[in-house]
Chain A
């Protein structure tokens, strides 16, 4: 087998697994304001997210940024809470705005900081970015698109069988993501003040 295929598989399986629930929850929250006809917008937003954490994976490699992992584990659910709240705002529901893409890019960078120790594990010998990190990042993107595909199927069921009102879908999905992420925030609270 070529290393490319194996690193691609590694990235894919890292997303399509139960241990990546925080990642998947973010994707769910990001998609809540979209309807089926916006499928291309969804793919673009998710790709911005991938670019974001590809960037921080590389930054982590160069030791440019080092952030306490406890802080990152707290910030990741914060991004989900923020996204869910943003979905309630006019700006968050404006389909013409590209704000979702920039949000996905920024939050991708934060999620990617949680990957910061991956780089040293993934590079092999003197081999560089192209033979290990690139296929890994592509695999992550493919994994995310697989999650997106599953969510789009759920949307088909919603729009064609249950209901057609996007507002109720948004409230349901954003509310669920908000609640789960809020609990994760409390559990990963990194500061001295205790609850």
Chain B
């Protein structure tokens, strides 16, 4: 019993040192578009995409799985949802992604004929993997910046402009 607790404690002490379970998303309204960049730690994203898959994703390497863009798009359609005052989720155009060392940048684009006064975002990125995952969403409209904080308890937030 003691050795169980001792090993549990030490594994906590060692493996979790400096784990930083955070993603940040920044979106800017430009003309009739909302351009969104989501930043996710590459290893976390790989783990998320590999769930229920046999293949290794190997993001950003030469061995990257061919299905990666599709899996990534599906993942974001499921875990990142955005709407203005209407009840329906807006559809985004999946622009693409870039892997820069340990961070993967995912680009999405929404069309808005008029800038909405309120935007509701549901963000569940990586929440299925980590209990302590935190996600930030920052949206900017004509120089006005609004921010929302997401975790296991808070997955739906409204940003008012």
Q: Which of B93-150 contact A (CB under 8 A)?
A: 100-103, 132, 134, 136, 138, 140, 145-149
For residue B12, CB closer than 8 A to chain A, the reply is yes
- Within the complex, which residue of A1, A115, A120, A180 is in contact with B147, where a contact is CB–CB below 8 Å? A1
Chain B nearest CB: distance from A77 CB in Å? Answer: 9
| Interface range, B side | 20 to 34
Chain B nearest CB: distance from A65 CB in Å? Answer: 15
Render A4-28 as a binary contact track against B, CB cut-off 8 A, 1 for contact. Answer: 0111011001100111111000000
Q: Which of A164-179 contact B (CB under 8 A)?
A: none
- Residue numbers in A under 8 Å from B20 (CB-CB): 14, 115, 118, 121
Q: Verify A2–B147 contact, CB threshold 8 A.
A: yes
Question: Interface SS of chain B: helix, strand, loop or mixed?
Answer: strand
Contact stretch, chosen from A83-91, A96-104, A182-190:
A182-190
- Within the complex, which residue of A18, A22, A187 is in contact with B18, where a contact is CB–CB below 8 Å? A22
Given the known A-B contacts A2-B147, A3-B147, A10-B22, are A117 and B103 also in contact in the complex, defined by CB atoms under 8 Å?
A: yes
The residue in chain A whose Cβ has the minimal distance to the Cβ of B101 is A117
Q: Verify B39–A13 contact, CB threshold 8 A.
A: no
Given the known A-B contacts A6-B136, A6-B149, A17-B132, are A188 and B14 also in contact in the complex, defined by CB atoms under 8 Å?
A: yes
- Residue numbers in B under 8 Å from A14 (CB-CB): 20
- Residue numbers in B under 8 Å from A5 (CB-CB): 147
- Residue numbers in B under 8 Å from A1 (CB-CB): 146-149
Q: Which of B17, B20, B145 has the most CB of A within 10 A?
A: B17
For residue B50, CB closer than 8 A to chain A, the reply is no
Given the known A-B contacts A3-B147, A117-B101, A121-B41, are A10 and B134 also in contact in the complex, defined by CB atoms under 8 Å?
A: yes
Interface residue count on the A side (C-beta < 8 Å): 34
Chain A nearest CB: distance from B37 CB in Å? Answer: 7
The residue in chain A whose Cβ has the minimal distance to the Cβ of B27 is A125
For residue A141, CB closer than 8 A to chain B, the reply is no
Q: Verify A125–B140 contact, CB threshold 8 A.
A: yes
For residue A159, CB closer than 8 A to chain B, the reply is no
- Residue numbers in B under 8 Å from A21 (CB-CB): 12-13, 16-17
- Residue numbers in A under 8 Å from B103 (CB-CB): 117, 120-121
Chain A nearest CB: distance from B65 CB in Å? Answer: 24
Chain B nearest CB: distance from A80 CB in Å? Answer: 11
A74–B147 Cα distance when bound, in Å, is 36
Q: Verify A3–B145 contact, CB threshold 8 A.
A: yes
- Residue numbers in B under 8 Å from A184 (CB-CB): 13-14, 17
For residue A122, CB closer than 8 A to chain B, the reply is yes
Chain B nearest CB: distance from A81 CB in Å? Answer: 14
Q: Which of B13-38 contact A (CB under 8 A)?
A: 13-14, 16-20, 22-24, 26, 28, 37
Q: Verify B148–A6 contact, CB threshold 8 A.
A: yes
- Within the complex, which residue of B16, B37, B149 is in contact with A9, where a contact is CB–CB below 8 Å? B149
Q: Which of B10, B41, B101, B145 has the most CB of A within 10 A?
A: B145
Task: List residues of chain B with CB under 8 Å of any chain A CB.
Answer: 10, 12-14, 16-20, 22-24, 26, 28, 37, 39, 41, 100-103, 132, 134, 136, 138, 140, 145-149
